[in-house]
Structure 1
């Protein structure tokens, strides 16, 4: 069975092309076991995009939570 980190990275690969269309990207930072929080980092234009919070909650978080039940929340870190 794949590790949680590998499962997250694999799923994020399916999302990255959409972010890259606007010169942005996203990367896995870490998963905190105690809080079940996944930390990701926006890159490129996503770092300063005014819609990045909406992208995180309505897109990335919703997509990952539906597929990886161990995750309770996704947060963006600098």
Structure 2
């Protein structure tokens, strides 16, 4: 159980995503925050990251790791496939 509400996490999560964006941009990629629910951060990988064979590694060992280190060890990240943005809560 996280000691923060989903709304309280929004700004810190956006700040951390802004910190990792330059690394993604080096390879032509980007990340978009779709939403936060129950300590899970739902994102969509864009650009060259979309469909990249290393996207799982980027999510878990790049973005999620940064969130866990800087915010809380129980935060999880979930990739929202393109076209599923409206259904992200059901993923």
TM, length-normalised to structure 1: 0.86
TM-superposed CA distance for 1:56, in Å, is 0.7
2:27 corresponds in structure 1 to 22
Cα separation, 2, equivalents of 1:23 and 1:72 = 26
- Structure 1 unaligned runs (5+)? none
Cα separation, 1, equivalents of 2:75 and 2:16 = 16
SS of equivalent residue, structure 2 residue 31: strand
Deviations 1:14-54 (A, max 9, x none): 10011011111001111102xx2110110011011100001
Q: Which of 5, 8, 11 is 2:13 aligned to?
A: 8
TM-superposed CA distance for 1:72, in Å, is 2.4
Whether contact under 8 Å (1:38, 1:71) holds in the other structure is no
2:67 corresponds in structure 1 to 64
Number of aligned residues: 75
Task: Confirm whether residue 54 of structure 1 aligns to residue 57 of structure 2.
Answer: yes
